Structure 1
């Protein structure tokens, strides 16, 4: 499939494949992706910690559901506020604030009083507060880090650079699963072992804070704020001299054209094309969550127990979900700048929906307690996770970081992520009860939503691969992106 290339893109010097500037860009992405690692660990640690925590603190299913879901609901707010904060104070400073929130949230969780199987209202309140603070940090990281990386990366490799954050997320989730399994096997699942599981998260938060102190600000944000000379200095650290100057001119031209336009929420409310693309972004984020991927990352051990495994078998087998998620992420990064976003979305959502249908069939064919039921569910959920990670997770976050214009990128991304995280919180809250009701029925509901998601992507989601952020901005602001969408649909 061919893409339209603007005159500005055509006149940029070719991208260099080696040099100190490429090493600098690599280092920046590693440090910034510690935010993704924290995101992943904090969402994955509950998968294995929630059982011991519930037993230690005397929580019922609804109380446990609220503890897990509170992170998702707070992340919705954090994504919205994080995007707005990043537009106001800069991407780099916003990430520094998030590092402090990650560290503070962990302290609240691990030092909340209570234990011994008795419910403590004060301890439960502090535990919820800690999960909310962590949720704000997770949501903020989900919107700010991809934007930061997308604005620093050359458009030719923007997908693979921005996608590294999603690989960091699943690496964090895998780390959480492995840590949980090691602790459960060596120490046991009683007492306060869940506090140790959560405490590990404090380490990367410290590295993120001190690492970002030495990282540059986004050059596109600097240009928007009139700090053009600083923007050029940053670009020259991550591009060759000639490429940096040419790209700097391109960014300045678009910034000057948009200088009279409203920014942030004001820009959104006065342009129907921006409203449309934000609605599409919100819909895509919600359908991503409605696949149930974070249900597996939060409650994978519980799903396997419902399929017939013992608690210890489940916490060990749960590691496989993290392993295949990382493998899928590596494959996704390799293909991110080679395969169109729309194509990956369509393939991914079709594959995950098929896995859901097969789980429904397996749980219907094999009765409770049958070994084949347990193995079928494990294999199909592994297939679901690798399909999700290879084709959907990374691509969705990259697409959201690309599609919104500079003058409202943080707000637009934040709104889309808000709706995605809200859906995440709803699923996390009801999932323990749904799984207790019916494992097959739960996956049947997810499959039905998956079919709707395929139709949504086919009808509404435009392509972004292979185009500069400035060229996309022109098309989105004027509505030309919607004309492109119509032509794209005829190709699939």
Structure 2
């Protein structure tokens, strides 16, 4: 009975905290449908270039939020950080919804991005520190599932609102305002959640840490885990953390370079051009706005199903084969969109062909490329490089996301559907070459073995 109570408490911790992931997904996905309406002449009358900044303003904020979020959470605590992020999510979402001009909307999207970036590093850290070792993988990957679920929720609500009230130009304001509701759930939910026991021990709150551990484990296991946390923290005191000056060391520079490259490769596949601008892509192919909103739901559904499939695949196959399969699959889909959109231009079949190819693209992206990227980053950096390496890698990921998000509407408007996707396919080929040449296999290898390999390679090439 006690074990069942512990499991129920852990499930509640997981569901509440991953509302941060749900908000991450909704706020990045909702712009997909809202742009079509806010761009109208009787609304904000956005040019393609301004559309890019509206979508990517959040991404630039997320780059800063992710870079600073971990440090703030370390200083103030995971729980307190998530409470603050919930407040930012709430007011920034309402600010976006009532924005009278594009400039104010971009500013509010930037603030919203700070919360998205902060959640992207704080929620996984909180889950990892709350979970028992045998449930850590499931609890942490639940956040990734909630992110794509949030995107699916945005696509579904966009479709419902667009089809039902599409003639009302300001419907985009309601699409953006809905994001405030999960923020309320996150805030009230986190009021009932405990602080991470590891953070409590680190800050000398010993009795509080033991009390939290006893809520999620039996008393005997809780005491054992408490001693383990103390031992690990004591060991970490003697580990000299890497700083940016250590990049002068060849093997450290190489491993950070690979981490940054893996992050960039995940983004240059063009995944977020589909997640942010799917409606524009499908209307460019020939769908009406309302039909494109409905079609986007298929993209959201396949993202959720493919993520579940990817989590299953990661436990059975090596990282390199999976990430290269994802890159080859996404490149093939991008190339097919470019070729067929030129061959079938003006024909009734084109929008359905493009929709089927975007769905297939997302299967390869979310089932192979995206989940393996995050797993690879978590395995690639030895402990002393973890803070600096992950900081550099995640910053590169968000900045690449920002560049693609801001440039895509301009490319689509200036060069058309075919050329834009030819460009993504060509850049994806460079990503595949990078992984093939530089990225090591990490499955089944300890952090110490990985570090030894990089050190040995650095000495051999020095």
Where does residue 368 of structure 2 map in the other structure? 391
Q: CA 1:457–1:24 in 2, change beyond 3 Å: closer, same or farther?
A: farther
Matching of residue 68 in structure 1 with residue 55 in structure 2: yes
Partner of 2:121: 143
Matches of 2:280 and 2:232 in 1, distance apart?
51
Equivalent of 2:25 in 34, 40, 62? 40
Partner of 1:119 in structure 2?
Answer: none
Alpha-carbon distance, 1:260 to partner: 3.7
Q: Give the whole-Å Cα distance in 2 for the aligned partners of 1:282 and 1:462.
A: 14
Q: Is the CA contact 1:142–1:417 (under 8 Å) kept in the aligned structure 2?
A: no
Q: TM-score, normalised by structure 1?
A: 0.83
Provide the rounded CA distance (Å) in 1 between the counterparts of 2:74 and 2:406.
Answer: 31
Contact 1:288 1:392 in 2 (8 A): yes
- Cα distance per residue 1:23-51 (max 9 Å; x no partner): 32222121111011101111111111101
- Aligned residue for 2:151? 173
For 1:258, which of 220, 230, 236 is the aligned residue?
A: 236
- Distance change >3 Å, CA 110–CA 336, structure 1 → 2: same
The alpha-carbon deviation at position 462 of structure 1 amounts to: 4.8
Q: Which residue of 2 aligns with 1:449?
A: 427
Deviations, residues 141-188 of structure 1 (Å, cap 9, x unaligned): 112212222333344443332111111111111111111111111111
The verdict on how the C-alpha distance between 1:267 and 1:52 changes in structure 2, with shifts beyond 3 A counting, is same
**In 2, Cα distance between the equivalents of 1:317 and 1:261?**
52
Structure 1 residues 53, 400: closer, same or farther in 2, change over 3 A? same
Shift of 1:246: 4.4
Determine if contact 1:295/1:427 at 8 Å carries over to the other structure: yes
Structure 2 equivalent of residue 28 of structure 1 = 13
* Inter-partner Cα distance in structure 2 for 1:213 and 1:339: 40
Aligned to 2:402: 425
- 1:196 equivalent in alignment to 2:174: yes
Between 50-59 and 85-94, report the one with greater CA deviation. 85-94
1:291 aligns with 2:269: yes
Deviation at 1:231, TM superposition (A): 4.1
Counterparts of 1:460 and 1:157, CA distance in 2: 32
Match 2:356 to one of 379, 398, 406: 379
Is contact 2:62–2:113 with CA below 8 Å preserved after alignment? yes
Displacement of 1:222 after TM fit?
3.8
**1:106 paired residue number:** 93
Q: How many residues of Structure 1 are paired with residues of Structure 2 in the alignment?
A: 453
2:111 maps to 133
Q: Is the 8 A contact 2:242 2:388 kept in 1?
A: yes
Q: Give the whole-Å Cα distance in 1 for the aligned partners of 2:222 and 2:95.
A: 44
Q: Deviations over 1:57-97 (max 9, x none)?
A: 12211122111111111111111011221222222222222
| Change beyond 3 A, Cα 1:221–1:458 | farther
Report the secondary structure of 2:194's partner residue. coil
Q: Structure 2, unaligned stretches of length 5 or more?
A: none
Q: Is the 8 A contact 1:40 1:169 kept in 2?
A: yes
User: How far apart, CA to CA, are the structure 2 residues paired with 1:275 and 1:24?
Assistant: 42
TM-score normalized by structure 2? 0.88
SS of residue paired to 1:183: helix
Alignment partners' CA distance in 2, 1:458 and 1:197: 42
RMSD between superposed Cα atoms in Å: 2.9
Aligned pair in 2 of structure 1 residues 465, 174: CA closer, same or farther (>3 Å)?
A: same
Which residue of 2 is the match for residue 212 of structure 1? 190
Q: Structure 1's 50 and 209: CA in aligned 2 closer, same or farther, altered over 3 A? A: same
- The structure-2 alpha-carbon separation of the partners of 1:321 and 1:78, relative to structure 1 and needing over 3 Å to count, comes to same
What is the deviation of 1:237? 3.3
| Deviation for aligned residue 1:351 | 1.8
Q: 1:222 & 1:462 partners in 2: Cα distance?
A: 36
Distance 1:24 1:278, change over 3 A: farther
Structure 1, gaps ≥5 residues long? 1-17, 114-122, 487-492
CA distance in 2 between counterparts of 1:451 and 1:302 reads 25
Measure, in 2, the Cα distance between the counterparts of 1:45 and 1:239: 39
**Which stretch of the first structure deviates more once superposed, 422-431 or 221-230?**
221-230
Match of 2:452 in 1: 480
Q: Is the 8 A contact 1:224 1:407 kept in 2?
A: no
Which residue in the other structure is 1:79 paired with?
66
Deviation of 1:485 after TM superposition, in Å, equals 10
Tell me, yes or no, if the aligned pair for 1:83 and 1:411 is still in contact at 8 Å. no
Do the aligned partners of 1:158 and 1:337 also contact (CA within 8 Å) in 2? no
Partner of residue 141 from structure 2, selected from 138, 150, 163: 163
1:420-478 deviation per Cα after TM superposition (whole angstroms, max 9, x unaligned): 111111111110111121312222222222223233334444556668xxx63x556xx
Higher mean displacement: 100-109 or 19-28: 19-28
